[in-house]
Amino acid sequence: MKNRILKNEVTGIIRGAIAEDLGGFGDITSKYLFPDDLDSSCHIVCKEAGGAILSGLDIALFVFEEIDAGIKMERLKNDGDSLRSTEKICNISGAASSILKAERTCLNFIQHMSGIATLTSRFVKIASPYNIKIVDTRKTKPLLRKIEKYAVLCGGGYNHRFGLFDGILIKDNHIAAAGGVSRAVESIREKIPHTLKIEVEVKNPEELDEAINSKADIIMLDNMGPEEIKAAVKSVREERGAATKIEVSGNVTLRNLEAICTTGIDLISVGAITHSAPAIDFSLEFE
Amino acid sequence: MKNRILKNEVTGIIRGAIAEDLGGFGDITSKYLFPDDLDSSCHIVCKEAGGAILSGLDIALFVFEEIDAGIKMERLKNDGDSLRSTEKICNISGAASSILKAERTCLNFIQHMSGIATLTSRFVKIASPYNIKIVDTRKTKPLLRKIEKYAVLCGGGYNHRFGLFDGILIKDNHIAAAGGVSRAVESIREKIPHTLKIEVEVKNPEELDEAINSKADIIMLDNMGPEEIKAAVKSVREERGAATKIEVSGNVTLRNLEAICTTGIDLISVGAITHSAPAIDFSLEFE
Amino acid sequence: MKNRILKNEVTGIIRGAIAEDLGGFGDITSKYLFPDDLDSSCHIVCKEAGGAILSGLDIALFVFEEIDAGIKMERLKNDGDSLRSTEKICNISGAASSILKAERTCLNFIQHMSGIATLTSRFVKIASPYNIKIVDTRKTKPLLRKIEKYAVLCGGGYNHRFGLFDGILIKDNHIAAAGGVSRAVESIREKIPHTLKIEVEVKNPEELDEAINSKADIIMLDNMGPEEIKAAVKSVREERGAATKIEVSGNVTLRNLEAICTTGIDLISVGAITHSAPAIDFSLEFE
Amino acid sequence: MKNRILKNEVTGIIRGAIAEDLGGFGDITSKYLFPDDLDSSCHIVCKEAGGAILSGLDIALFVFEEIDAGIKMERLKNDGDSLRSTEKICNISGAASSILKAERTCLNFIQHMSGIATLTSRFVKIASPYNIKIVDTRKTKPLLRKIEKYAVLCGGGYNHRFGLFDGILIKDNHIAAAGGVSRAVESIREKIPHTLKIEVEVKNPEELDEAINSKADIIMLDNMGPEEIKAAVKSVREERGAATKIEVSGNVTLRNLEAICTTGIDLISVGAITHSAPAIDFSLEFE
Amino acid sequence: MKNRILKNEVTGIIRGAIAEDLGGFGDITSKYLFPDDLDSSCHIVCKEAGGAILSGLDIALFVFEEIDAGIKMERLKNDGDSLRSTEKICNISGAASSILKAERTCLNFIQHMSGIATLTSRFVKIASPYNIKIVDTRKTKPLLRKIEKYAVLCGGGYNHRFGLFDGILIKDNHIAAAGGVSRAVESIREKIPHTLKIEVEVKNPEELDEAINSKADIIMLDNMGPEEIKAAVKSVREERGAATKIEVSGNVTLRNLEAICTTGIDLISVGAITHSAPAIDFSLEFE
Amino acid sequence: MKNRILKNEVTGIIRGAIAEDLGGFGDITSKYLFPDDLDSSCHIVCKEAGGAILSGLDIALFVFEEIDAGIKMERLKNDGDSLRSTEKICNISGAASSILKAERTCLNFIQHMSGIATLTSRFVKIASPYNIKIVDTRKTKPLLRKIEKYAVLCGGGYNHRFGLFDGILIKDNHIAAAGGVSRAVESIREKIPHTLKIEVEVKNPEELDEAINSKADIIMLDNMGPEEIKAAVKSVREERGAATKIEVSGNVTLRNLEAICTTGIDLISVGAITHSAPAIDFSLEFE
C-alpha cells in the first residue's frame, strides 16, 4: 500500500498556494503572450544527483487540475520512489498558458516535500538495520504540518503525534507542576482518551526510574549521549525488565546517528527532517 | 525604519498554525496538569553560535496574544538584529498553560524565518561590498511566501516580484510563442500596467542583443558562468552603452558568489535563501 | 481543575451561529423598537427540575462579547455544576438591543450542551460506583463534535478518540481485508504513530482470543449481553491473565447499564449521550 | 414536488463535517489496512421500528461524492419517505477505504436529520386532521439551522422565520420599550420590508385586544392552557370577527397536543422538534 | 433611532477590502518613506455640491480600527445626514503610515454608499409628499447587497426582500408553471413560512383581477405607464374595495417619478438607486 | 487574444454572490412552484441602445455551472464585444428552477461589469486617436476590484497598479515626510522590488522639475487644466528632453477629455470608469 494523499485533504493548501502566486491580475506575462489555443507538452524532471526520494507528485497533479481541468498528466513515478538523476517523474500536456500558470506552485510543493522525504530517507537508511524507527516532531513549518508529515512517510520515516491534541508528552514543567513524575502520569492517565499512550521525557536516571515506576508507556531520553542512553536502556530492559518503548530525542545528526543506533532503543525523533531539509531541485521542461 | 510586519497581515497564517497544533481537544497534556492559576515566567533564547539574524519575533508576539490576551511579553531584540549565542530575545510571563500551548507554534515561526534571514545575510555580506543586491525568487514554501519574503528583508536582502501578477519575466517559452524577443517585449509592454518594468531572461549573446534592442528594462542572465557574465556586462555597458539593470540567476552558491560579484552586475537572485535555509535553533526556557 | 473551553477554540462556531441568526438585515424587530441608549439587566435561569448539569456558559459569554464588547456578565455558576430548579447561572447587563440579538444564539448553545452534560451525568452516576468510565463516540452532530465532546466532560464522562485520525479502531471489515485479527494488528502497529493504542472490536470468543494473542491494547465487546460480557472478561482476566482494557459498546441504555456494570469491564461507550440528548430548558429573563 | 436540498447550499457544512472527522492524518486505520484497489458494496439500512421518516439522504450522497468522486450510489428512498424497519435506503459501491472514511459523517447527518423529521411527523399526525400546521422555532443547534429546518419540512412540518432578519416577532420587552402594543406595531410596520408580516406575542386578554386593534398580522398565544386558548380564539374570531392567524407556542408536547388542537387555532410552534429529537438509528452494512 | 451598522455584521467585507488593497507586500510606498513614529492629523471632507447624504462613516471607522487600533477618530456627522459642500465628516489622527494604508479602502466605502444614499434621497424627496415609499431591489453589486441596502435606508428609502429566501415574488414564469395566478398563490401560501406576504407581478388588467381574487398580499404593477397604473389602482381600490398594497416597478426615473406618484400607489421599487448611483466625492486631507 | 477570466480566479466572488441571494431557505418562490422535471429555454439579451460593451459573460456561465452543473449554455458573444440593441448574448437551457435561482446573480454581474466596460469604451474612443491610454484607479467597489479592473480591459482601457503592494505612487505627504522629491525617490528606489517603476504626483512646475531630476519613471500631473498640462509636457519633452511617461489624473470627464488629449501626454487615469459607471440593462427572457 503506497503513501497517498487525497485531494480533499489538501484543497485548502492548494487553493491558497495558487492564489498567492496569481494575486489580482493573474499571470500577466503568459496571458498576453500566448494565444488561447496554443497547446504544449512538457515533463517534470529531477535535477539532483541520484537518490532523491519523490514526495508531492499527487499534489502537483491537483494543482494542474485546479487551474485547468483540461490538462492531461501521465504519472511516471510515485510518491516514495527513489529517483535517478534527470529522471522524468511525469508528462503533462495542455494549454501552454495554464501550464505556465501552475508551474512554480507545483514545483514548490514537489521540491519542498521531496526535500523532506530525501533527508528522512538518509536517516532511515542508517537506522533501519538496527530496527529503529525515525520519527518526526512538531517542528514543522506553519500551515504545512500535514504535508510535511506525509513527506516523512514517503521517506520511510514514521509520524509522532500530529499536535498537542492527539498525544501526551509530559515534560519537566508538567512534572514540576504536578509534583513528581508519578503524580503527573496518574493524573493525566485518569483524564485523557484511553486510546492514547503516555510518553514521559526524562533527563537523568532518577526521572527514568520514576517514569518506569509510574508505568509510562513511552520513555523519551532527552539530549543524552550514547553512553547515557546505553545505561538507560540497560536500566529499563535488564534491571527493570520493562518493555517500555524508548525514544531518543535531541541533537541527533547524520554524523552521530549510528552511534545512537547501537544503544538498543526503539525510536529516534529528529526535528531536522522537517525544519531543515534543503529543497530537491525539479524542473518543468517543455518538449 | 525597521522591518515590521503588521498583525492584520498575518492573522490568517497565525490562526491556521495555532489550529493545526491544537486540533479538536486542545493541549491535553497541559490542560490536565496545570492549575488555572499557575503563572510562570520564561524567555526565548537563541541556541545557535553567534551571527544568526532574528526574524519572526513580531509574529511570536501575535501567537501569544491570540492564545491568551493576558500574557505579557517584553521584546529584547528586533527583527533584523544579529544575535549572540544564547542571547535572550524576549521575556514572557503569564498562565503556564497558555505559554505551553503557544510554545511550539511560536518557535516554529521564529526558527524558520530566522533561518531564511540568516542564510540571506551570509549572501548579503559577500555581495554588498560590490553594491550588488541579493534578491529572492518565487521558490518559496506554499502559503508562506509573505513571511518568507519578509524574512529576506530582515536578512538584508531585497524582494523580487511577489507572484505572477506584479512583475513581468519573459522566458524562452514566451519568446518562442511570441516569435522573438522584440515582439514579446513590444506585445507585453502594450498590455501591462505602465507601472511595471519588463525583465527578459537570456541564455546567450544573441538573445542578450535582442533584449537590449527591444529596450527591456531588466536583463536576467540565466545559468551563466562568471566569464559569460563578464562578457555580457561588457556588451551591455561598453558596447551598447545601456544602463539596463542586469540580474544573474541560477546555481548561485556561497562558494561561487564572490566570483559572480566581480562581474559588474546589479542583482543576484537566489532560490536557496527561501527554499533551502536550515532552521535556527531557538528555545523557550522557564525561569 | 475545571473544564474550560477557550474562546480561540470556538471562534468559528460562535461567529457562524451568530451569522445564521442575523442574516443580511440583522435583528429587524429590536433594531427599530429600541433606542440606542436603552440599557437593561437580565439573567439566565435554568427552567428544569433540579439535577441538570451546566455546560456552555463559557460560550454564552463569548456570544455576548462577540456581539457587543460593552455587555457585562457576571458568572454565578461554572460548567460542570449541578443546577437546582430555577437557579440563576449568570447576570447580564448592557444595551437591550444587543442582549436580544444574542439571546437565542446564546441559549441554543447552553440548552444543547447542558442536555448532553445532563444525560451523560445520569450514565456516570450509575457507572462510577463500579469504577467504570462512560465514554463518548463519534456519533455527534456535524460541525459540533468539539463542543459536544466538551459537554461530555462537563457531565463527568470521558472522551474516546476525536476522529479517524487520532485513534485506531479495527472492525470486522478491516479484519477481513487484512486476513485475520493478528495480521491486522501487526500491520497497523507497524505504521501508526507509536503514541496511539490499538483497539479491536470483537463479536465472539474466537475473535476475542485472537485479539488477546495479537496484543491489542484495548478490546471492544460489540453488542454483547451481560452474560457474554462476563464470559469475555473472565476469559481475558482469569484465563489469559491479560490486563488489556475492556470496552463495551452498543445498545447501552440507562435501563440495562447497571447490569453491564457488574461484569468487571473498564469502559462503556454510549452514542446516545451525544446523538439523542434532549435539550435542557434555559431562559433569559429581564429584570 | 419533493423536498430537496442542493449541494451548493450545504457544501460548507459537508466539508466542515468531513474535516472534523479526518483531521490531520486522515483515516489511519483504513489507510494502512486496505489495498488501494479493494472495492466493496454496501447499503445503508434503518434499524428503527417502522415509521421513521427519512431526511438527509441527499446530503449523504454529497458526503460520498466529496470524499471520492468514483463512488456509486443508488437511491432507494427519498427524503420525506416513511421507512419500514430494516428497510434499505440506498446502495453504495466503490473503494472500501473511501466508504469507511465517509461512513460515520454520512450517518451522523442521516440519523440527526431523520430524528427531527420523525419527531416532527408525530406532531403532524395529530395536528393535521385539525388543519393545524406544526411549525419550527429558532431553537436549533448552532450552525445547523439550515439542515434542521429542512428536516422539519421532510417530517411534514412548516418553517417559521429563519432568523432575526426575515420575520418580525414583537415580544414583551419590545412592547415595553415602545410604550404599548399599538405603538410597537405601528413603529415597526413603518420601517420593515413590506413583504414581511408582523407577529405579536400576547400573554393575556388585554394584550390580545391591543394586538387585534393594531392590526397585527399574526397573534402568538404564549404559554396558555387549552381553556385560555379557546377563549382567545373566541375573542378574535367571534367577538372581533378578525381573520388574524393565531399561533400557539410554549410547552406543547405530544401529550397535550390534541387538546390544544381542538381550540380552533391555525399554527403550533414546537421547539422540541429541533432541540430534543432523539437520533434515528441507521447502519452501513457491507455485503 | 439612527441607522447603524454593527462591526460584526461587516467584518468579512472590511477584511476582504483591506486585503485586496494591501496584497502580499503591504503599502510599499508608505512603508519605506514614513518613520514609525510619525503621527499625523487629517479629516475627511465631502467634495460635492451640497445635498449629498452620508452613508458608510461607521464602516470607515472600522477600516481604521482594523488596520491600527491606535488611530483616533472623531465623528462629526452621522450616516443619513445631509452634507454641505466641503463639510468635514470626521477627524482622524495617528500613525501617518496607518492612515495612508487605510485611506483608499475607507473612501471607497464612503463614496459608494453615499452615492446610493444620495440618489435614493432624490427619489424620496419627490415621492414622500405623496406618502409613497421608495424601495430597493435585488439589483445590487455582488457581495455588497448588505451595505447597499443599508445605504438605501440612509437615503430615506426602504428595503424590499433581501434575497430569494425571505420574500415571495410570483412572476409570469411561476404563474405559467403553476397554471394560473390563483393556483400559484394558493400553492405557495400553503408551503411558505406564515410570516411572509405574497407579492404577485401583474402585466395587465386580467392578471390584476386574478391576483386580487387570489388574495395576494401585494400587487406589483410591472412596467406600466401612469394611465395604466391609475386604472389599476381604481380597479383595486374602488371596484374591488381591496386594501392590497400596490407597488410599481420598472423604468422609473427621476423624470417620470412625479407622474407615477399621483396615481395613488403605495410603493415604487427602483433598481437604479443601487445599480447606477454615481459615487460621491470624498477626500482625506492632512492638516 | 481575448480578455478572459478563469473560474478559479472568481470562485469566491461567485459563491459569495449566490449565498447572498439564496440565504438559508433558498429560492422559496420557485422551489414550491416548479416541478423538478420542468425544463426551460431562455436567453440573455441586452436592452440598451446599441454600443454597449459586454463584460462578465464568462462569470455568468460560472454562476449557472455553480448552481446546477446540468444547465447548458451557448455563448453568442464574447467579453469585449460591442452589442447592438436587443442583441442576444447567450442561450441557456435546463431546469427552470435552477435558471430562476441563478438569474438575478448572473445579471448583477453582467450589468455591472458591462456598465464599467461601456463607460470605459466611451473614454477610449476619444483618447485612442491621440495614442493615449485610459487607465483605471484604485477607486473601485470593495471586494470587486478584480472584476472591475477586468471590465476596464474589456472596454479597451488599461490597468494601473492593483493595490498598494504592486506599484509606487509618491504623493505630497510622502514627499513632505521624506524631505523633498529627490530624497523620496532615492529612498524608495533603494528598497522596492526592482521590477517596479516609480511614479511621482506633482502639482506645480517646481515639483515637476524635481521629479525629472530624480529620474522618476512616471510623472502624474494632478488636477491640472489643459494649459498647465501643455506647459508641463513642453518642459519635460523639449526643455529636459526626457522620455518619462506622463499621466494626467483628476477631474477628467467625457467633456474635457478631448482638450486634455491634445496636450501630448501618455496616459489618463479616470476614477469614474469604476466608481460611477451606470449599469447596462440586460434581461433573461424565457422562450
pLDDT (mean) for A162-176: 93
pLDDT for residue E107 is more than 90: yes
Distance CA F79, CA F56 (A): 6
* Placement of cell 403605495 in the chain: E266
**Residue B2's pLDDT is what?**
56
User: What nine digits make up the cell of B155?
Assistant: 536578512
Which residue in F47, F77, F138, F139 is the catalytic one?
F139
- Rounded distance, CA A28 to CA F275, Å? 24
In angstroms, the CA F4 to CA A179 distance is 67
Query: Which residues does chain D have with pLDDT short of 70?
Result: 1-4
Residue D2 is predicted with a pLDDT of: 56
Quickly state the pLDDT bin for B3 (edges 50, 70, 90).
low
Q: Which residues of D are catalytic?
A: 104, 139, 171, 201, 222
Angstrom distance (rounded) from CA D207 to CA D201: 8
Distance from CA of A98 to the nearest CA of C (A): 35
- Maximum Cα–Cα distance across chain A: 76
Question: Does residue C222 carry a catalytic annotation?
Answer: yes
Neighbours of chain B (3+ CB pairs under 8 A): A, C, D, E, F
Residue in F with minimal Cα distance to D161: F25
Distance of CA A115 to the CA centre of its chain: 10
The mean pLDDT value for C27-42 works out to 88
Q: Bigger pLDDT: B11 or F71?
A: F71
pLDDT, position D198: 97
Integer Cα distance of C67 and B147 in angstroms? 32
In this predicted structure, the answer to whether residue F33 has a pLDDT above a threshold of 60 is yes
Question: Do C275 and D47 meet the contact criterion of CB atoms below 8 Å apart?
Answer: no
Tell me the shortest Cα–Cα distance from A177 to chain D, in angstroms.
Answer: 30
Cβ of C193 within 8 Å of Cβ of A168? The answer is: no
CB < 8 Å to E192, chain D: 159
Q: Please tell me which of the candidates F160, F193, F266 has its beta carbon nearest to residue B193.
A: F160
Cell reading at E182: 390563483
> What pLDDT shows up at residue F2?
57
Report pLDDT digits (tens) over A43-76. 999 999 889 999 999 999 899 999 998 999 999 9
Contact assessment for residue B211 and residue B188, using Cβ atoms and an 8 Å cutoff: no
> Cell 522573438 maps to which residue?
B180
Q: What is the pLDDT of residues C237-261, one digit of tens each?
A: 999 998 899 999 998 999 999 999 9
How far does the CA of residue D161 sit from the closest CA of chain E (Å)? 6
Spatial distance between the Cα atoms of E126 and C101, rounded to a whole number of angstroms: 35
Query: Which residue of E14, E140, E279 is in closest CB contact with F108?
Result: E140
Minimal C-alpha gap between B141 and chain D (Å): 19
Nearest residue of E to residue C31, measured between CA atoms: E1
The whole-number pLDDT of residue E1 equals: 44
Residue B281's identity, in one-letter code, is D
A249: alpha, beta or left? (left if phi > 0; alpha if psi -120 to 50): beta
CA distance B16 to chain D (A): 13
Rounded CA-CA distance E87/A70 in Å is 56
Per cent of chain C over pLDDT 70 is 99
Q: Which of E8, E149, E162 sits opposite C67 (nearest CB)?
A: E8
The answer on pLDDT for E54 being more than 80 is: yes
Percentage of residues in chain C having pLDDT higher than 90:
84
pLDDT band, residue C1 (cuts 50/70/90)? very low
Residue F256: pLDDT over 50: yes
Q: Which chains touch D (3 or more CB pairs under 8 A)?
A: A, B, C, E, F
- C203 has catalytic annotation: no
Helix axis angle, C96-127 to C145-154, nearest 10°:
60
Structure confidence at residue E5 as a pLDDT band (50, 70, 90):
confident
Please report the pLDDT score of residue D1 as a whole number: 43
What distance in Å separates the CA atoms of residue C261 and residue C268, rounded to the nearest whole number? 9
Whether C1 sits inside 8 A of B67 (CB atoms) is no
Q: Comparing A44 with E242, which gets the higher pLDDT? A: A44
Q: Which of F171, F183, F203, F245 does the annotation list as catalytic? A: F171
Active site residue B9: no
Q: What are the CA-CA distances from residue E132 to residues E219, E248, E250, E258, E270 (Å)?
A: 15, 10, 16, 11, 13
Touching subunits for chain F (3+ Cβ pairs under 8 A):
A, B, C, D, E
Within a 10 A sphere around the Cβ of A84, how many other Cβ atoms? 12
User: Across residues C193-208, what is the average pLDDT?
Assistant: 95
Q: Is the pLDDT of residue A6 over 90?
A: no
Q: Which residue of E has its CA nearest to F109?
A: E142
pLDDT at E251: 87
Residue of B135, B197, B247 with shortest CB distance to F196: B197
CB contacts of C18 in chain E (<8 Å) are 8
Which one of the listed residues C171, C189, C203, C230 is annotated catalytic? C171
**Mean pLDDT, range C137-164, rounded to an integer:** 96
Chain E residue at shortest CA distance from A23: E23
User: Does the pLDDT at position E76 exceed 80?
Assistant: yes
How far is E55 from E52, CA to CA, in rounded Å?
10
CA–CA gap between residue E155 and residue A138 (Å, rounded): 55
C45 pLDDT band, cuts 50/70/90, is: very high
Q: Which of F1, F9, F145 faces A26 most closely, judged by CB atoms? A: F9
Task: Kindly tell me if the per-residue pLDDT of C103 is higher than 50.
Answer: yes
Touching E (3+ Cβ pairs <8 A), the chains are A, B, C, D, F
The pLDDT of residue C261:
97
Mean pLDDT of E134-143: 97
The answer to whether the Cβ–Cβ distance between F162 and A23 falls below 8 Å is yes
Q: How far is F162 from chain A (nearest CA, A)?
A: 7
For the segment B114-130, the average pLDDT, to the nearest whole number, is 98
**Predicted local confidence at residue C119, as pLDDT:** 98
- In angstroms, the separation between the Cα of residue B24 and the nearest Cα of chain D is 8
Per the document, the length of chain D is 287
Determine which helix (DSSP H) or strand (DSSP E) holds B173, and give its type and residue range.
helix B172-178
Quote the pLDDT of residue B6. Answer: 73
Neighboring chain D residues of F31 at a CB cutoff of 8 Å: 1, 4
At residue F135, the 3 state secondary structure works out as strand
State the average pLDDT over residues F182-204.
94
Share of chain E above pLDDT 90, in %: 84
Residue with cell 434555559: C282
Residue B65: is its pLDDT beyond 70? yes
- Contact flag E24-A24 (C-beta cutoff 8 Å): no
Please give the Cα distance from B116 to D203 (Å, whole number): 69
Q: Most E CBs within 10 Å: which of F34, F147, F164, F168, as the mutation test of the E interface?
A: F164
From chain E, which residues contact C within 8 Å (Cβ)? 1-2, 4, 6, 8-9, 145-146, 149, 159, 162-163, 166
Is residue F244 over pLDDT 80? yes
Write out the three cell numbers for A121. Answer: 530517507
Sheet holding D72-75, edge to edge: D72-75, D88-95, D39-46, D282-286
End-to-end CA distance of chain B: 33
Alpha-carbon separation of residue B273 from A147, B137, B255, D89, F237 (angstroms): 21, 9, 14, 57, 43
- The residue with greater pLDDT, C90 or C2, is C90
Q: Are strands C39-46 and C282-286 parallel, antiparallel or unpaired?
A: antiparallel
- Residue A24: list chain E partners with CB under 8 A: 20, 23
Inter-chain CB proximity A18 and F1 less than 8 Å? no
CA dist E73 and A26 (Å) reads 37
Q: Which of B27, B81, B103, B201 is catalytic?
A: B201
A67–F8 CB contact, under 8 Å = yes
Give the CA count within 13 Å in the CB-facing half-sphere of A86: 0
C-alpha F88/C-alpha F284 separation (Å) is 10
The continuous run of DSSP H or E covering A147 comes out as helix A145-154
pLDDT of residue E3: 64
Q: How confident is the model at residue E35 (pLDDT cuts 50, 70, 90)?
A: confident
What residues contact residue C241 under an 8 Å CB cut-off, 6+ apart? none
Nearest chain D alpha carbon to C178:
D33
Mean pLDDT of B244-260: 96
What does the H/E/C string look like for chain E?
CCCCCCHHHHHHHHHHHHHHHHCCCCCHHHHHHCCCCCEEEEEEEECCCCCEECCCHHHHHHHHHHHCCCCEEEECCCCCCEECCCCEEEEEEEEHHHHHHHHHHHHHHHHHHHHHHHHHHHHHHHHHHHCCEEECCCCCCCCCHHHHHHHHHHCCCECCCCCCCCCEEECHHHHHHHCCHHHHHHHHHHHCCCCECEEEEECCHHHHHHHHHCCCCEEEEECCCHHHHHHHHHHHHHHCCCCCEEEEECCCCCCCHHHHHCCCCCEEECCHHHHCCCCCCEEEEEC
- Tell me the residues of B at the D interface, defined by beta carbons under 8 Å apart: 20, 23-24
- Nearest CA to F213 among F241, F192, F172? F241
Name, in order, each residue with C-beta under 8 angstroms of A123's C-beta and a sequence gap of 6 or more: A134, A157, A252, A254, A257, A268, A270, A273
The secondary structure element, H or E, covering residue D75 is: strand D72-75
Q: Which three cell numbers stand for residue F150?
A: 477586468
Bridge partner list, D169: D199
Secondary-structure breakdown of chain F: helix, strand, coil percentages, each rounded to the nearest 5: 45, 20, 35
Residue F52 backbone class (left: φ over 0; alpha: ψ -120 to 50; beta: rest): beta
Q: Which of E116, E119, E130, E120 is nearest to E258 (CA)?
A: E130
Q: Do C36 and E162 touch (CB under 8 A)?
A: no
